[in-house]
Every structure is written in structure tokens, then in C-alpha cells.
Amino acid sequence: RYVEAALPLGGENEPIVLDRLAGLYAAAGRTTDALGAAQRGLAIAQQRGDAQVAESLRQKISQLKP
């Protein structure tokens, strides 16, 4: 809930927030939402050159895809 609340405050542009959100969505069984958050975060992390967060998001995406 707190992570979702951070989105309107600029969190939707922060890969680390989207990474955490994807994890929380996945834990709640919201796979589609988790995949969407992870993919958005990955795109931003790659654009910023944040290799560590990008790799974390890649791993999440591979685990979430059927």
C-alpha cells in the first residue's frame, strides 16, 4: 500500500520503487500488475544506465512470465 502511494509522488519514474512494487504485486498474486511494473522499471533503469536495478528487474520478469 505504501509503495503504491509513492507512485503519484514521482515513484512511477523510479526503477527501485517499481522493482519493489513488482515484488509486492507478485506476492499478492497480481502477476499482470507485477509484470507491468517490472517492465516499466526495467525500461527506465536501462535508460538511466542503472545495471544493478535493471538486472533485478530482468530476473523478476523472467520469473513472472509463464
With cell 502477476, the residue in question is 31
The whole-number pLDDT of residue 46 equals 97
What tens digit of pLDDT does each residue of 10-48 get?
567 889 889 988 998 999 999 999 999 999 999 999 999
Q: Which amino acid is at 28?
A: A
- Residue 61 has a pLDDT of 96
Diameter over CA atoms, the chain: 32
pLDDT band at 1 (very low <50, low <70, confident <90, very high): low
Residue 25 grid cell? 504485486
pLDDT confidence of residue 66: 76
* Residue 10: predicted pLDDT: 59
Q: C-alpha grid cell for residue 59?
A: 530476473
